[in-house]
Amino acid sequence: MFETQSKRNLYRQGTKVLHDIVNAYEQGVLDDPRQSALFCSLLACICEGKVEGVLDDDSGLVKWSLTQEYSKEVEALKESVLNSEMQSGKVVKGPWS
């Protein structure tokens, strides 16, 4: 059976996703349009392999963070934009480093 990468990413985080769905339901996140849209964006990032979760045993909550690969990609994009803006002359470099 053919599995897409998004399916594999979701299966890898499956129990954490289920914990978070239950938590979101109990907190009313799914009833608020803005919060539910944010939650769906989180689910999309999970499918895209951009975030991974760790279940906190003390609180029972899932803590989501960027994957190392995506974190490097975001950092490279940030540096690219910063360098581009610095070269454009629109940004004045301050005395801090």
Domain spans in the chain, listed from the N-terminal domain onward: 5-88
pLDDT (average), residues 2-17 = 91
Please answer whether residues 65 and 50 qualify as being in contact, where contact means their C-beta atoms are separated by less than 8 angstroms: no
pLDDT of residue 92: 76
What pTM was computed for the model?
A: 0.80
Q: pLDDT by residue (tens digit) across 21-34?
A: 999 999 999 999 99
What CA–CA distance (Å, rounded) separates 69 from 94?
31
Q: pLDDT by residue (tens digit) across 47-91?
A: 999 999 999 989 889 999 999 999 999 999 999 998 898 888 887
